Amino acid sequence: MEWSPALTQQQWNELEAVLLDMDGTLLDLAFDNDFWLRQVPKLYAEQLGIEPELAQKQLFDLYHEYKGTLQWYCTDFWSEQLGIDIIKHKYELAHNIALRPGTVEFLNKARTHNKRLILVTNAHPDTLTVKMDRVLIAKYFDDIFSSHQFSKPKESPEFWAMLQQEIDISFDKCLFVDDSEEILTVAQQSGVKLVLSVSQPDLSLPEKDGMKFPYINQLNEIIG
């Protein structure tokens, strides 16, 4: 089957800005999955002197309680809740942070075509610093926004209203790429004209099935 880009040339030409998620879109989500699903439970078990399986169950119950809220993404919150210096351990494991294939190629192409590049992440600013220090792609972006600046996660319509004011570009002229279909739904409902999902945010896992939105695997599939 012949490859075809996710956007037509006309759609690409009409874009003024590309809004990009970080984890699972620019970066391989494998780092975060390993950190929160394996490394943090291990540290928590050591901290409390309990079995790893029990620590994992307790943590997963907490994760479920806060998922989709600003606290879920807040390293200060989890450091306080768990008694673990989350950022310290992220720095210790930062060698595992990796760009997804096609990321730099796409960022260069978008810059060449004079598209405004905007990083839009739920990551806490401290996590953002850890990751940008490792992958060195901050230089490509005209603007970088963490949802913590707005005190609302990307899952919230209020986030998108505040982002619209900040970037001062009509969402009619924007493309947004994210690996969360919940967030893509809110973005689309908030007026973002073009949205794309990522089919394999964690490259150590299979591609997702039953995608609701048009999707890509690598960013360089957006346009030829």
Per domain, the residue ranges of the chain are 9-28+98-221, 31-95
Whole-prediction pTM value? 0.95
- What's the pLDDT score for residue 178? 98
- What's the pLDDT score for residue 74? 95
What tokens appear for 221 in the block?
A: 């599939």
CATH, domain range 9-28+98-221: 3.40.50.1000
- Low pLDDT (below 70) residues in the chain: 1-3
- What's the pLDDT score for residue 224? 81
The answer to whether the beta carbons of residues 111 and 117 sit under 8 Å apart is yes
3-state secondary structure (DSSP) of residue 162: helix
- What's the pLDDT score for residue 51? 93
- What's the pLDDT score for residue 43? 95
Compute how many other C-beta atoms are within 10 angstroms of the C-beta atom of residue 96.
15
The whole-angstrom separation of Cα 102 and Cα 132 is 17
Dihedral in degrees, nearest 10, Cα atoms 185, 211, 121, 86: 120
- What's the pLDDT score for residue 81? 92
DSSP 22-35: SBTTTB-THHHHHI
- What's the pLDDT score for residue 1? 43
- Taking only the tens place, the pLDDT of each residue in 8-48 is 999 999 999 999 999 999 999 999 999 999 999 999 999 99
- What's the pLDDT score for residue 68? 86
- What's the pLDDT score for residue 91? 97
Amino acid at 211: M
The CA distances from residue 210 to 207, 213, 215, in Å, are 10, 9, 11
**Could you tell me how far CA 14 lies from the centroid of its own chain?**
25
Compute how many other C-beta atoms are within 10 angstroms of the C-beta atom of residue 72.
18
The answer to whether the beta carbons of residues 204 and 11 sit under 8 Å apart is no
Beta strands 215-216 and 17-20, pairing class: unpaired
